[in-house]
């Protein structure tokens, strides 16, 4: 998958592996702007995140994927790169999804409050962009392992092949430009970005693939921009 999320954090770990990206790190926004991005619009009534539980959940996740046990949200860039390198086909995605399910089951009612960048920043001491990346990473996995699993794996070969297609570059550039010009335009910019990814992937991989990549991006921002929707291109 390509420039997904707020900024293409294109982590490239080997050409055969899936490149998972997230735009948070490349945007070069100030910490203050990133923090605003992370504010949860409607905080649900849920349990507070307990650091030991998050740690336990992360260790289980890492163990399942044969990754160093002590990597945690502070190592989001490394984690995301390793996960991207791990996902090479449907079977390896299933393994990642099983690890994600265990991670979720360990946290359960704490999950949403642990996946809140402001918690990771304030209680966990994470730099803003690291916290943002970690949360986007987990939200992207939620989609790939949940409702998006079937559609994602159906077109996986095409996604892996076109990961870095230059036809998708303008999507991100427009997004980046809009955000820098007027930061308050985040949600309209995400909307444009999602639609641009849809159109790009419709051409590269077909209608369902377009919707899948739109949705993959949408979930990363849903907590900032709850009203966004992706539509399947009909023709
Ligand atoms: C993980 O992050 C911590 C805190 O920034 C750092 O000290 C440690 O070296 C990192 N581990 C790896 C394997 O990158
Ligand atoms: C995004 O835009 C800013 C401001 O124009 C620029 O400094 C930055 O390099 C751009 N990021 C990317 C990845 O193009």
Residue 179 has a pLDDT of 84
CA of 223 to the centre of ligand 1 (A): 28
One digit per residue, pLDDT tens: the chain, 235 residues?
333 333 333 332 333 334 455 555 556 667 766 666 655 554 555 789 999 999 999 999 999 999 999 999 999 999 999 998 898 889 999 999 999 999 999 999 999 999 988 899 999 999 988 998 899 899 889 999 998 999 999 999 998 889 789 999 999 899 889 988 887 888 899 999 999 999 999 999 999 999 999 998 888 877 778 889 999 999 7
User: Phi and psi at residue 190, in whole multiples of 5°?
Assistant: -65, -40
Q: What are phi and psi of 17, to 5 degrees?
A: -85, 160
Question: Does residue 2 form part of some domain?
Answer: no
94 CB-near residues (< 8 Å, 6+ apart): none
Provide the pLDDT for residue 217: 86
Q: Which of ligand 1's atoms lies nearest the C-alpha of 74?
A: 2
Assess whether the C-beta atom of 170 lies below 6 angstroms from ligand 2.
Answer: no
Q: What domain range includes position 53?
A: 24-221
CB neighbourhood size of 199 (10 A): 17
pTM over 0.95: no
Domain contains 10: no
Q: Tell me if 13 is assigned to some domain.
A: no
- Write the CA distances from 74 to 63, 132, 170, 219, integer angstroms: 17, 11, 31, 22
Residue 1 belongs to some domain of the structure:
no
Is 161 within 8 Å of 168 (Cβ atoms)? no
Between the CA of 190 and the centroid of ligand 2 the distance, in Å, is: 16
Indicate the number of domains in the chain. Answer: 1
Residue 235 covered by a domain: no
Asked whether residue 109 is assigned to any structural domain, the reply reads: yes
**pLDDT at residue 23, rounded to an integer:** 54
For residue 157, tell me if it sits in a domain: yes
- Other CB atoms within 10 A of residue 23 CB: 26
Our mutation pick for probing the ligand 1 site, out of 69, 72, 75, 120, counting the most ligand atoms within 8 A of Cβ, is: 75
Nearest-CA residue for atom 1 of ligand 1 = 75
Ligand 2 atom closest to the Cα of residue 173 is 14
Does residue 195 fall inside a structural domain? yes
Tokens of 224: 């900032």
Q: Which tokens go with 66?
A: 């044969």
Nearest CA-CA partner of 34 in 135, 124, 157:
135
Q: Report the alpha-carbon angle 230-231-235, nearest 5.
A: 150
Residues shown for the chain: 235
Q: What is the pLDDT of residue 11?
A: 31
228 contacts 167 by C-beta, under 8 angstroms: no
Q: Which of 216, 184, 179, 182 is nearest to 200 (CA)?
A: 216
pLDDT of residue 51: 96
**DSSP reduced 3-state for 24:** coil
């Amino acid at each position: 998958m390509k420039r997904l999320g707020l900024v293409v954090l294109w982590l490239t770990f080997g050409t055969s592996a899936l490149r998972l990206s997230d735009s948070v790190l490349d945007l070069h926004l100030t910490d203050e702007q990133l923090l605003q991005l992370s504010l949860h619009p409607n905080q649900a009534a849920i349990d507070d995140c307990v650091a030991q539980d998050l740690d336990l959940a992360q260790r289980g996740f890492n163990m399942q994927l044969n990754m160093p046990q002590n990597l945690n949200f502070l190592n989001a860039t490394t984690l995301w790169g390793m996960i991207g390198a791990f996902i090479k086909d449907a079977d390896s995605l299933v393994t990642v999804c099983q690890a994600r399910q265990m991670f979720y089951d360990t946290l359960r009612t704490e999950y949403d409050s642990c996946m809140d960048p402001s918690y990771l920043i304030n209680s966990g001491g994470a730099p803003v962009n690291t916290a943002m990346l970690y949360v986007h990473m987990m939200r992207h996995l939620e989609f790939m392992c949940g409702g998006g699993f079937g559609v994602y794996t159906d077109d996986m070969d095409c996604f892996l092949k076109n990961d870095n297609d230059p036809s998708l570059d303008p999507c991100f550039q427009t997004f980046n430009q809009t955000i820098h010009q007027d930061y308050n335009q985040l949600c309209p910019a995400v909307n444009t970005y999602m639609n641009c990814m849809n159109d790009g992937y419709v051409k590269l991989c077909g209608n369902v693939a377009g919707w899948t990549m739109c949705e993959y991006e949408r979930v990363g921002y849903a907590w900032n921009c709850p009203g966004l929707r992706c539509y399947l291109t009909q023709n």
